[in-house]
A and B are shown apart, each in its own frame.
Chain A
Amino acid sequence: MTTTPPPVFEGVDAPHAAEGIRGVIGRRRADRRTDAQGDRGIVSGHDRKKRGVRAGLGGVHGVLFVGLVVAGLGPLLWLAKSAVTPTQDTLRQPLALWPNGIDWANLPQAWNDVHIDQFFWNTIVIAAGSWAFQLVVATTAGYALSVLRPRYAPILNGAVLATLFIPAVVLLVPLYLTIVNPPLPGDVSLLNNYLAVWLPAAANAFNILLVKRFFDALPREVFEAARTDGAGPFRLFWSIVLPMSKPILGVVSVFAIIAAWKDFLWPMLVLPDPAVQPLSVRLPAVQQSIELDVFLAALAISTLIPVALFLVFQGVFLRSAGLGGAVKG
C-alpha cells in the first residue's frame, strides 16, 4: 500500500498557504462563516428543531462515539493491555478487562533482549535521513525550476512529472540491482548502507511538484526587490524563498517521515543485515523466536512514538491528510 500515489494537492496555492496550511483548508469555512446563513451543513437549523431529527442526530452521536472508540482506540488499548499481560491470559481470555497478573517485565525484556532499542534507533536514523534528503532535493529542484527557470526547465519538469505515472513496482527489481551493483568504480555495493534507502526516497516527483507549485505562486516582486538589493541565487534561496515556504516544508516533512516510518518492502530488500534493519522489518522476523507477550510488548513500543507524535501534532497531521480534499470538487 505504500506505493499508492499521495493525495491531490491541486488546491494548495501559495497566497492561501502563506497564511499557514490552516488557510488552505479553513478558507472556505471562513468564507462560509461570513455568509448570512452562518456555519451550516446538510441539516438546516430548521431541521435541527424537529424532534425526529434531534433524536436522529443523537443517535448519530452515539453510533460515531461507540464505533470510533471501538475501531480506532480499541485495538490500541488492547495492545497496551496485552503488552503487560502474561501470554496465557492473552491466549485464553483475550478480552478480559483485567488480567490475572501483570507482567511489567515484558517491556524491558522487549527493549533489551529483543533489541527493540537498536531497531528503534535504526528506524529514527532512516526516517531522519530520508527527511533530510527529500527536503534538500525538493527545495533545490523546486527553486531551480520555479524561480531560476532555465530555458530547459520544461523538459526537466516533464521528465520529473512523467515518473509520477510509473508505479513504484516497476522500479523494484532494477532499483535493487542498482543498489547491489551501483554504477561506481570498483566493487562496491550499497546493500546494508542507509544511502540505499535515503537516496531512492529522495527521488520523489510528488515532493518536487508540490514545492514547485508553491514557489510558482510566491510574489515575484519580492524576488526582484532582493535581486535589486544585490542578492545572488543562493542568498535568494536561503534568506527569501525558504523562509516564505515553511507551510509547504512542513507538509513535505510530515509525508517524508511517515513514509519512511511505514516502509517495509524496500528496507527489507536492501538492508539484509539485521543489525541495520528498522522496526518494520525486524518485527515480523523476531515474531517466531519470542513469546507472545514479549512480542506484543515490542509491538506496543513500536506504536508508541508515531501515536505520541500524532497526538502532539494532531493538527498538522490532519491538515496534511485533509489537503487532498482541497481539490475543487
Chain B
Amino acid sequence: MTMTRASDAAAEPAATAAPPPDSPPSPMVRTRTRTRSPRTWVRGGGLSTLVFLAPMLFVFGFFSWSPIVQSVIMSLQKTNLLDAPTWVGLDNFANVLADPLLGTAVLNTLYFAALALVFGFPLPIIMAVLMSEVRRGKGFYSALAYLPVVVPPVVAVLLWKVFFDASPTGLFNTILGWVGIPAQPWLQSPATAMPSLVLEATWAAAGGSIIIYLAALLSVPPELYDAAEVDGASIWRKIWHVTLPQLRGILFIMLILQVIGTAQVFLEPFLFTSGGPNNATVTILLLIYRKAFQNSLGGDYGEATALSVMLAIVLALLSWLYFKLTERWSTS
C-alpha cells in the first residue's frame, strides 16, 4: 500500500530536496514532475524515506493498527485459541450487556472516578497554589511532592496494603487510635474498600498534577495581579478572580485526563482486593481481564473485546474532546 503511494510521490526530488523553509511542498511543485521510473524514485530519496519509515510502519502495523481493526472484528466473533473463530453478529455485545456483573462494574468504576475527583482533583490545585507562594524551599517541596510518583505503582499498592491492615495494630488504625477513632476494616468491608483504593490512588497521582499546576501558575501574567490590586482585591479575591480563571484551560484538560485514567483503573482493584469484598471493587477493566484471561477453559475473547470496544468508544470521545481543547488552547 505504502509502496504504491511512495512511488507516486517518487519523482519529486525538487520538492523533497528544497522545500521553502517551514512549509510543506506546494501542490504546484508536485504536479510539475513527470518522470516516475523506479530509478528516479530511488535517486530522489524515496527509498531512503521508506527506510526511515520502516521501523514505525512495522511496529504500528503489527502492534497498533492491526490490533485495532482486529478488536472490532473479534467483538463480532466467537474466538478462543483452539477453534477457528465463527461470526456471531452482535451476540457478544448482547451477552456483555446481559451480564449482571456489568452494572456493578460500571457503577463501581463511576464511584471510583467520582471519589477520585472529590479527593484528588482539588488537592493538587490547592497544594500548587500554596507552594507557588512560598519563597524558599520550593524545589524541596516539589521534590517531596513528586516522590510518591517515583515509587513503582505495584510497590505503592503492596505497601499500602500493609498500611491498610484491618487489625487494631495496623498502621492506619494505630494513627486513628491516637485521635480516638475506632479501628476501620479498610479493604475488608464493601463500604470502605473503594474509598481506601481511592486514597492510595490519590496519594500516588497527586505529585504529578502538582508539578503540572506549578508550571501552569508561572504562565499567569503578573500584570493581572497588579491590576487586581489597583482595584483593591484581597488575596482570596485574587485567587478566585485571577488565578483560577487563568488556569481554567489546564484545569479542564486535567479533569478530562483524570476521567479517562480513572475509567481504566485496574491495578488498585486487582492487587488490593481482586474485585472483592462481595464484588465491591470490580471495575470495568477488571471485568474485561476476567473475561479474557481468568478462565481456566480459555478466555472468552469475543465478549472481552466487545466490552473493550464499548468502553473505548466512550473514552475515544473524551480523548477527542481533550485533543480539540488542547489544540484550541495551544493556538490561541
Contact = CB atoms under 8 A, between A and B. Distances in A.
A94 interface: yes
Contacts of A220: 19, 21-22
B285 interface: yes
- Bin chain A's interface residue count: 35 or more
A284 B161 CA distance: 11
B100 interface: no
A28 B253 CA distance: 21
B251 to A, nearest CB: 8
Given A137-B56, A141-B55, A28 B219 contact: yes
Interface string B220-245: 10110110010000010011001100
Overall SS of chain B's interface: helix
B149 interface: yes
Interface of A: 1-5, 7-8, 10-11, 25, 28-29, 32, 35, 37, 40-44, 46-47, 53, 57, 60-61, 63-65, 68-69, 71-73, 75-76, 78-79, 82, 90-95, 133, 136-137, 140-141, 143-145, 148-153, 155-156, 159-160, 163-178, 180-183, 199-200, 202-203, 205, 208, 216, 219-221, 224, 227, 232-234, 237, 261-262, 264-265, 269, 279-281, 283-284, 287, 292, 295-296, 299, 302-303, 306-307, 309-311, 314, 317-318, 321-329
B52 A174 contact: no
27 contacts: A10-B326, A40-B225, A41-B132, A41-B133, A60-B134, A64-B130, A64-B141, A152-B9, A156-B2, A170-B311, A172-B304, A172-B308, A173-B74, A177-B81, A178-B67, A203-B62, A208-B56, A265-B266, A265-B267, A280-B154, A292-B162, A318-B146, A328-B329, A328-B330, A328-B332, A329-B216, A329-B329
Contact of B71 (A37, A73, A92, A174): A174
B312 interface: yes
B169 interface: yes
A173 B130 CA distance: 44
Contact of B48 (A53, A61, A73, A232): A232
A42 B326 contact: no
B147 A178 contact: no
A42 B53 contact: no
A206 B107 CA distance: 31
A140 B8 contact: no
B5 A35 contact: no
A140 B53 contact: yes
B137 interface: yes
A303 to B, nearest CB: 5
B95 to A, nearest CB: 15
Nearest to B169: A92
- Bin chain B's interface residue count: 35 or more
Interface string B125-157: 001011111100101011111111111111110
A3 B45 contact: no
B28 interface: no
Contacts of B216: 325, 327, 329
Given A42-B239, A76-B151, A174 B320 contact: no
Given A170-B68, A175-B63, A42 B129 contact: yes
Contact of B308 (A44, A95, A173, A177): A173
Given A169-B315, A323-B215, 6 more contacts: A4-B260, A136-B55, A156-B2, A159-B65, A205-B64, A264-B153
Contacts of A200: 59, 63-64
B169 A94 contact: yes
B18 to A, nearest CB: 7
Interface-centre pick from B152, B225, B253, B301 (highest chain A CB count, 10 A): B152
Nearest to A95: B174
Interface-centre pick from B67, B203, B238, B319 (highest chain A CB count, 10 A): B67
Contacts of A307: 147, 150-151
B70 interface: yes
B46 interface: yes
A169 B308 contact: yes
Contacts of A5: 257, 260, 319, 322
B74 to A, nearest CB: 6
A227 B17 CA distance: 8
Nearest to A168: B264
Given A53-B235, A167-B319, A318-B211, A176 B292 contact: yes
Contacts of A317: 146, 150
A141 B56 contact: yes
Contacts of A10: 326-327, 329-330
Nearest to A151: B9
Given A168-B264, A172-B308, A203 B74 contact: no
A35 B332 contact: no
B247 interface: yes
A253 to B, nearest CB: 16
A61 B134 contact: yes
Contacts of B70: 174, 177-178
A306 B316 contact: no
Nearest to B271: A284
Contact of B305 (A29, A143, A159, A173): A173
